[in-house]
Amino acid sequence: MRKPTRRRSSLIKGGGAFGPGGVDAFDRLPDDLVLALLAGIAARAGGPADLAAAALTCRRFRELAAHPTVLSRAAAAAVALRAGVWSDAAHRFLRRCAAAGNLHACYFLGMVRFYCLGSRASGVALLARAAAGGHAAALYALAVVRFNGSGGGKADKDPHAGVALCARAAWLGHVPALRELGHCLQDGYGARRDAAAGRHLLLHAAARELAAVSSARRRGRAGEDDDGAAASRFMVEWWVLTSAEKPATAAGEEGSCGAGEEDAEELRLCSHARCGRRETRRHEFRRCSVCGSANYCSRACQALDWKRAHRGQCGAARWLAAGNAY
């Protein structure tokens, strides 16, 4: 344990912030108590800035804030970084949290590595580690990987494993998994067809989503704040920033594009605006059977995007196609 240190100051003695002999009150606190305080701050943090502000209090707090006891307790919001501030330091912070056993960090970093950085093996390993600890969003993420055979070929698709992972995540109360499982049961994909059970799950997912939105409004928060929403927000921002950087790069390296870069250009994003997943191979995602212009990583994303945007877009495309036929 760290022993109290004596201040070399004669300005304040015998009272105030210093005890007898000029010992700082903070230095009198044992490390176990400081770690417990920092762990409580990390567990209740509303964002990465909250933990950073506590760590910048003094050198001792900065050192103890990097302790595994504190990082393992960090809340989902504390590790929910934005794509605009991504850096090597941010990557190291997430790696430390994941190494400390933080399931939120394992899931978030796994999604970033798998879809954004292209590190498929390490990304899946982190997602599997979070899923093994009962992390619902990680279970659903692995289900989407199984449904699409992401990171492999068409032969790697495993609908039955995807349904099993969805069922586990749905049992834990994950709303996207409930919705996905409902559509799978309605379509008979990866499981025996049961339209009534599928409709029941979809209604249950809609009720849970409405309750979550109402709760967020009562707390004064504009939108979702769970792990899945944070990772999707990061991926959406990442691809927006990446597409903005491409014109400048292309202008400086015109004519030097290789075959690998051409293949990467043909990989498409999920058309659901709040998803952020990108294909890991060409024609991986399912497409709208009517217009063929929308791509979806899952049935749940397709159903949500149909309600929010694609219903009008697809209807317009169908109307234009019918008009051009005459």
Which of 76, 52, 78, 80 lies closest to 66, judged by CA? 52
Distance of CA 178 to the CA centre of its chain: 18
Q: How many CA atoms, within 13 angstroms, populate the side-chain half-sphere of residue 250?
A: 9
Asked whether the predicted pLDDT for residue 294 surpasses 80, the reply is yes
Instruction: Check residue 220 and give its pLDDT.
Output: 62
Instruction: Check residue 268 and give its pLDDT.
Output: 92
Instruction: Check residue 217 and give its pLDDT.
Output: 75
Q: What is the assigned CATH class of domain 75-242?
A: mainly alpha
Instruction: Check residue 320 and give its pLDDT.
Output: 52
Q: How many CA atoms, within 13 angstroms, populate the side-chain half-sphere of residue 89?
A: 4
Instruction: Check residue 231 and give its pLDDT.
Output: 94
Instruction: Check residue 324 and give its pLDDT.
Output: 52
Strand, coil or helix: 287? strand
Dump pLDDT digits (tens) for 222-263.
444 577 889 999 999 999 999 887 665 555 555 444 444 445
Asked whether the predicted pLDDT for residue 108 surpasses 80, the reply is yes
Domain extents for the chain? 75-242, 286-317
Contacts of 223 (CB under 8 A, 6+ apart): 216, 229
Instruction: Check residue 72 and give its pLDDT.
Output: 95
Instruction: Tell me the average pLDDT of the chain.
Output: 83
Instruction: Check residue 250 and give its pLDDT.
Output: 52
Higher pLDDT, 278 or 303: 278
Dump pLDDT digits (tens) for 187-221.
999 999 999 999 999 999 989 888 877 777 776 65
Instruction: Check residue 193 and give its pLDDT.
Output: 94
Neighbours of 100 (CB within 10 A): 18
Instruction: Check residue 107 and give its pLDDT.
Output: 97
Residue 210 near residue 184, CB atoms below 8 Å: no
Distance of CA 161 to the CA centre of its chain: 21
Asked whether the predicted pLDDT for residue 9 surpasses 50, the reply is no
Instruction: Check residue 21 and give its pLDDT.
Output: 52
d(CA 90, CA 104): 15
Dump pLDDT digits (tens) for 23-78.
566 677 788 888 998 999 999 998 899 988 888 888 888 889 999 999 999 999 99
**Residue 295 dihedral angles phi and psi, to the nearest 5°:** -125, 140
Asked whether the predicted pLDDT for residue 8 surpasses 50, the reply is no
Asked whether the predicted pLDDT for residue 186 surpasses 60, the reply is yes
Strand, coil or helix: 278? strand
Instruction: Check residue 3 and give its pLDDT.
Output: 53
Asked whether the predicted pLDDT for residue 175 surpasses 80, the reply is yes
